[in-house]
Amino acid sequence: MSKSQTLERAQARVAPPPVVVRKGSKIPPPKPKPNPVASEPPVAPKQEAKSAAETVPPKQQPKPVAESGVSNKAPPPEVVERRREMLIRLCELFPQCFRPTSPRPLKAGIHQDIAALHPEFDAAVTSSALRYFTRNGRYLAAMVAGAPRIDLHGEKDGAVTPGQAASAAACLVRKKARAKQAAARSSPTPASRP
């Protein structure tokens, strides 16, 4: 198709339909609209910016997450079982480091040490097990400013910073508040007597 044919088609689409005006009619004929130039694309009218909630359809909007930033949804049973098995394995391989009854702060980046020593371990399962271990109430209570961090062999490797200690303390407070709320929901309310 040549440029002239394209221009003719564009003009034909934009041209207004003919209007018949009778003598004595008070309706003025419509003003002809200027023809767009073939090389310039039509300009869309400006639209007001919409918020993210308006642009996402209701079914696709993200579900609310707990205040702590952690989802309230429990993991599937197979994930829980694999995580439990990994924790048992880590406790057997590194008893100086992973002590469930009296945990000590772990070295930052300890997951890299585990991956280097045991590349056969699934990284996602190891990460899940470490998250579970480090979110335990006893572990969070052990995260005190200046407390030594330990490596896989139980040797000191760094210390807990005041910021990390404050973060752990806040996490522990949220954890206790959630446990208290869960206990209040699950306990039966006493029946009122007449």
Residue 120 sits in a domain whose CATH number is 1.10.1710.10
Scored b (16 or more CB within 10 A) or e, 6-24 reads: eeeeeeeeeeeeeeeeeee
pLDDT band at residue 75, thresholds of 50, 70 and 90?
Answer: confident
Structure tokens at 145: 């400013």
Does the residue 142 lie in any domain?
yes
How far apart, in whole angstroms, are the C-alpha atoms of residue 47 and residue 85?
55
Does the residue 42 lie in any domain?
no
pLDDT band at residue 170, thresholds of 50, 70 and 90?
Answer: very high
Whether the predicted pLDDT of 150 surpasses 90: yes
| 170 or 29: which leads in pLDDT | 170
Angle at 171 between CA 110 and CA 96, to 5 degrees: 30
Question: What total of structural domains would you count in the chain?
Answer: 1
What's the pLDDT score for residue 13? 55
What's the pLDDT score for residue 76? 86
In 3D, which of 143, 175, 149 has the Cα closest to residue 67?
175
pLDDT band at residue 191, thresholds of 50, 70 and 90?
Answer: low
| 52 or 186: which leads in pLDDT | 186
Does the residue 34 lie in any domain?
no
Q: Which domain holds residue 113?
A: 77-182
Whether the predicted pLDDT of 48 surpasses 60: no
Does the residue 21 lie in any domain?
no
For 78, the enclosing helix (H) or strand (E) is: helix 77-93
Structure tokens at 55: 């642009």
Helix axis angle for 123-134 and 77-93, nearest 10°, is: 80
What's the pLDDT score for residue 149? 94
For 179, the enclosing helix (H) or strand (E) is: helix 162-186
pLDDT band at residue 66, thresholds of 50, 70 and 90?
Answer: very low
Does the residue 19 lie in any domain?
no
Does the residue 72 lie in any domain?
no
CB 84 within 8 A of CB 91: no
Structure tokens at 75: 């993991």
Does the residue 98 lie in any domain?
yes
| 142 or 11: which leads in pLDDT | 142
Does the residue 4 lie in any domain?
no
